[in-house]
Amino acid sequence: MKIRAFLIAAIAAAAMCLPTAALAAQTSSDTISGYEYYATSTDGRFAGTAAGALPGGWNADVHHTALCLTCTPTATITGGSFSLTTLLNRVPTLITGSFTGGTVQVTNPGANCTNQTFAVDGILGNVGTWYSGNGTGNFDVTLTHYRRAIFGRCVTYGASVAGTLALTF
């Protein structure tokens, strides 16, 4: 009888530990690529696909200080949002977060109206599922502005991003 009571108590204790194990932090790493679909001197919006631990579609709205091509950093990330649609344990899931800091740094200013490149290194906070989370992350991409001179003016006609996404939640 004592062994049976002990076994029942052990199973109950193990069952109480299951939610804690299920809620343990998960770290994932993905490669991401996409495009910039909206830009001002203080805001860049991007969308694309992720491949790796959490494959799916992503969207980012990066708020930053005004771009200064002769400054280091070129801009400081001041806020914004991030989302990723993926499967988590085979369940369609939305993972969200917010930009809490980071930098934008020009790596090639694009002399004579050639393509420009920027390193966008964003720090993510509040990462979790369905707008609830306290996880963290890094959004690190190279942004390329495609440019051509048209009638004597330098025109950006498109932009792409490629890099990595690391999330812990």
pLDDT at 21 over 60: no
pLDDT band at 13 (very low <50, low <70, confident <90, very high): very low
Residue 25 has a pLDDT of 75
pLDDT at 17 over 50: no
- The residues spanned by each domain of the chain are 25-168
Q: What is the pTM of this model?
A: 0.82
pLDDT band at 24 (very low <50, low <70, confident <90, very high): low
Give the mean pLDDT of 131-147.
96
For residue 138, give every residue at least 6 positions away whose Cβ sits within 8 Å of its Cβ, in sequence order, or none: 121, 122, 123, 124, 164, 165, 166
